[in-house]
Amino acid sequence: MSLSMHAVLADRHLDVSLDVPTGQTLGLLGANGSGKSSVLGVLAGLVQPDTGQCVLDGEVLFGPDVRVPPHRRRIGLLTQDSLLFPRMSVIDNVAFGPRSSGCSRSEALAAAQRWLTEVEASDLAGRKPSELSGGQQQRVGLARALATDPRLLLLDEPLSATDVEVAALMRQTLRRVLADRTAIIVTHQVLDAVLLCDRVAVLESGRVVEQGATEEVLRRPRSEFAASISGVNMVRGLAIGPDSLAGPDGTVIHGEPDLPLTSGEPALAIFRPEAVALHRSEPGGSPRNHFSGVVSSIEPQAHLVRIRVGDLSADITADSVARLNVSVGEPVVLVVKAAEVSLYHR
């Protein structure tokens, strides 16, 4: 079972088709005004499309002569503002959905407590929304969206209102609760797309201009927006310490983790091409990360030249290319300082 949608909104210049396999997370990428939030509104039943059809798990949610009301779609929505009821306690906010779906008060409260525990917010149960930080409100909003046991979870830039430390913790929570769940996340952050999404679709002017596996789209972007946020180097591997991982070929990468890594668990290293130095042979004496390979392409850009070595890239000056006399097919060594490498749980 899966989600399949085509919707047209003439007044918003929206004409979008999307397919999401069951158990996968799709990231919607695009500039402000590209139509991302409108797509979520259509799916949630808050916006009525002019034409189109949406089928979720075999049920038509909207189409010719069909419109299932929002409260019967079993779709959870978390917006940038958690929109908690200000006069209700946290646990009553989370219990509101199950209660509205016909559960008894005791059943609704049990579901609310279970999901507050799942998002690590059980200690907030008795507080009012005004007593919560922005990060705490997002955790409670996520618990409320999940408490109705939604078939589809919609997240509209869930980390945009959180600071760096809170975002790292919230990202861990999202990775856990999204596992094997069908979801769509609106984001403009490459990190959230890489860590949370199986696939991405890029919207420009209300239309999908590119879609595919997340890392493939970001490594080989075909749209202007994807190109503007992509280009980062990504290496997957297994953590071998709190601040290091081993890549697929055994290369050890040291870096700065957002949260300490756990040995043996999947991890991801990310670093910018402009942070990479290029050498013709192994440099000596420096405790930096080294990657050996063969130059696969040389691509002049605005002010720099991008050197591709396998799946990695280095941006260096044209003068450096001439000085090193680099050409396609030659062996080189890429070097990047540990301080320039960000490490994340995967």
For 103-115, what is each residue's pLDDT tens digit?
999 999 999 999 9
Which of 150, 161, 168 is closest to 187 using CA atoms?
A: 161
Residue 18, pLDDT > 90, answer yes
The confidence score (pLDDT) of residue 166 equals 77
Q: Which two tokens stand for residue 166?
A: 């809170």
The rounded Cα 137 to chain-centroid distance in angstroms is 19
| Lookup: tokens for 260 | 């300490």
Polymer length of the chain: 346
pLDDT higher than threshold 70 for residue 1: no
- The confidence band for 283, taking pLDDT boundaries of 50, 70 and 90, is confident
Q: What is the DSSP annotation of 226-256?
A: HHHH---EEEEEEEEETTEEE-TTS-EEE-E
pLDDT exceeds cutoff 80 at 165: no
pLDDT band at 337 (very low <50, low <70, confident <90, very high): very high
Query: What's the DSSP call for residue 71?
Result: G
235: phi then psi, degrees, rounded to nearest 5: -130, 120
* Residue with the larger pLDDT of the pair 271 and 164: 271
Q: How confident is the model at residue 328 (pLDDT cuts 50, 70, 90)?
A: very high
Q: Which range among 103-117, 158-172, 282-296, 304-318 shows the weakest confidence by mean pLDDT? A: 158-172
- Residue 315 CA to residue 2 CA, distance in Å, equals 41
pLDDT at position 98: 93
Q: What is the mean pLDDT of residues 304-311?
A: 92
Coil/strand/helix, residue 1:
coil
Identify the weakest region by mean pLDDT among 81-95, 191-205, 246-260, 283-297: 283-297
Note every long-range contact of 285-289, with CB atoms under 8 Å and residues 24 or more positions apart, other chains counting: 286/335, 287/254, 287/338, 288/335, 288/336, 288/337, 288/338, 289/251, 289/252, 289/253, 289/254, 289/255, 289/335, 289/336, 289/337, 289/338, 289/341
DSSP E strands in 111-204: the ranges are 152-156, 183-186, 199-204
Q: Do 236 and 273 contact (CB within 8 A), yes or no?
A: no
pLDDT of residue 242: 95
Whole-number pLDDT of residue 297: 92
| Other residues' Cβ atoms within 10 Å of the Cβ of residue 181 | 16
Which domains are seen in the chain, by residue range? 2-229 (3.40.50.300), 233-345 (2.40.50.100)
Region 3-19: what's the mean pLDDT?
Answer: 95
pLDDT classification of 159: cutoffs 50, 70, 90: confident
Distance CA 64, CA 50 (A): 10
- Do 271 and 249 meet the contact criterion of CB atoms below 8 Å apart? no
Q: How confident is the model at residue 219 (pLDDT cuts 50, 70, 90)?
A: confident
The number of helix segments (H) and strand segments (E) in the chain equals 9, 22
Q: From CA 48, how far away is CA 42, in angstroms rounded? A: 6
